[in-house]
Amino acid sequence: MEHVQRIRRLFLLGMFLLASGSLILHFNIHSPLHSPPGLVFSNRLVFALVLFDVVGVTWLFSRKDTAAWGYLFNGLLVIYGTVFMTYFGWSRIGDSGGSFLRYVFHATTPEIIIAWADFFVGAALYRLWFVEPAVKG
């Protein structure tokens, strides 16, 4: 029982660190403080969603009774993030007539990989809650 709780804490820390890394990357790329006039809302929305991932989703995964909600929101954020990052990244490359390798190794690819790593850590944590009876709290 103690061993499973220690593993849960490590997974929570991993989720927090992956989401925090995403927050820092997004803040550097899409700063809500210094953005062009047309992108102020979208940059703030992206920042708010990633901040929700850092704080809210990590908190939801920290308890057994809310872990399913964390799993749901984590999955939705990863899917939406993948779709939007791929679309906006590829739309910028398409204007310059890029090759297939430029599509694959575009600047958004590392962020997409980080998002999916965060999802898989969350999926493992969700399944870990049901390995043996968890202590509430």
Residue 134 lies in a domain: no
> Given 3-state DSSP classes, what are the helix, strand and coil percentages for the chain, each rounded to the nearest 5?
80, 0, 20
Question: Does any domain span residue 26?
Answer: yes
Indicate whether 63 belongs to any domain.
yes
The pLDDT, as a whole number, for residue 74 is 96
Task: Report the domain count for the chain.
Answer: 1
**Cα-Cα-Cα-Cα dihedral of 117, 65, 46, 27, to 10°?**
-60
Query: How far, in whole angstroms, is CA 61 from its chain's centroid?
Result: 13
User: What is the dihedral sign for C-alpha 43, 48, 49, 55?
Assistant: positive
Is residue 96 one of the residues assigned to a domain? yes
Alpha carbon distance 15, 59 (integer Å): 10
Q: Is residue 23 part of a domain?
A: yes
Q: What is the pLDDT of residue 136?
A: 59
The predicted structure's pLDDT at residue 46: 86
pLDDT at 92: 65
Q: Are 74 and 122 in contact (CB under 8 A)?
A: yes
Domain membership flag for residue 22: yes
- Contact 72/122 with Cβ under 8 angstroms? no
Structural domain includes residue 120: yes
Q: Long-range contacts made by residues 97-101, C-beta under 8 angstroms, separation at least 24?
A: none
Question: Domain range for residue 63?
Answer: 2-128
Model pTM score: 0.81
Q: How far is CA 130 from CA 13, 55, 82, 86, 125, in A?
A: 19, 23, 28, 34, 9
Inside any domain, residue 102: yes
- The Cα–Cα gap between 126 and 100 comes to 36
Per-residue pLDDT of the chain (137 residues; tens, 9 = 90+): 678 889 999 999 999 999 999 999 888 877 777 766 766 567 788 888 999 999 999 999 999 999 999 999 999 999 999 998 888 777 666 555 666 676 666 667 888 999 999 999 999 999 998 876 555 55
